[in-house]
Homo-oligomer: A and B are copies of this chain.
Amino acid sequence: MNTMDPDTMEPHGLTQRISGEKSSMTQKAVQDYYPDDIAVCYGCGKSNKHGYQIKTYWEGEETVCRFQPQAYHTAFPGYVYGGLIASLIDCHATATAASAKYHEEGKSLGIGTVERFITAALHVDYLAPTPIDVPLELRGRVKESKGRKMVISVTLSAEGKETARGEVVALKMPEDFLSKQK
């Protein structure tokens, strides 16, 4: 079982092994840089009190997210339901995309906010049942970056065993995206 760092309230070891310029992103989670007024996502919005509030951190060239499912997030007794796995992969991937693009554009976190990415496509391969009583670890990597489009690959592991693998095509949200939906 992970122990918690009393200063950061994150699992011990999370901020270790950090290298490279992205280390500045690890003091706070990527999601903490999202604009407040749209930080309401059920999966990752810091303002959504009902949601999962997942947190994405950079560790070198990868992003990591650790998440402890609740007992009721089950598919079959003892195992995590696939919808939660898809949700975690989705939100971790869009956070990876948003922050990687921000970094790619030479911006420094803490100055302004990170622009959101939206999911165009999500693919998940379920490799093995995922046990529900241990913390899950997701690791994200940029597979492709081209203009507004990012392709992010994500692995999900439990106790060191990879149980799911995902790929997300994420698009930088156009500035008029929300107003155009009205």
Which residues of chain A have a CB within 8 Å of any CB of chain B? 37-38, 40-43, 45, 48-51, 70, 72-79, 81-84, 86-88, 90-91, 116, 118-126, 129, 178, 181
Distance of A125 Cα from B83 Cα, bound (Å) = 15
Q: Is chain A's interface secondary structure helix, strand, loop, or mixed overall? A: mixed
Given that A78-B181, A123-B121 are known contacts, is A84 also in contact with B42, CB under 8 Å in the complex?
A: yes
Contacts of A40 in B (CB 8 A): 74-77
Asked if A87 and B83 sit within 8 Å, CB to CB, the answer is yes
Asked if A51 and B77 sit within 8 Å, CB to CB, the answer is no
Contacts of A118 in B (CB 8 A): 75, 126
Q: How many copies does the complex hold?
A: 2
What are the nearest 6 A-B pairs in CB distance?
A: A83-B87, A86-B86, A50-B72, A42-B81, A122-B124, A123-B123
Contacts of A178 in B (CB 8 A): 76-78
Would you list 7 pairs from A and B whose C-beta atoms are within 8 A, ordered by A residue? A40-B75, A42-B73, A42-B74, A50-B72, A86-B124, A121-B126, A123-B124
Distance of A129 Cα from B77 Cα, bound (Å) = 34
Asked if B41 and A75 sit within 8 Å, CB to CB, the answer is yes
Distance of A42 Cα from B90 Cα, bound (Å) = 18
Neighbour of A126 across the interface among B76, B86, B120, B181, CB < 8 A: B120
Distance of A90 Cα from B43 Cα, bound (Å) = 17
Contacts of A86 in B (CB 8 A): 83, 86-87, 90, 122, 124
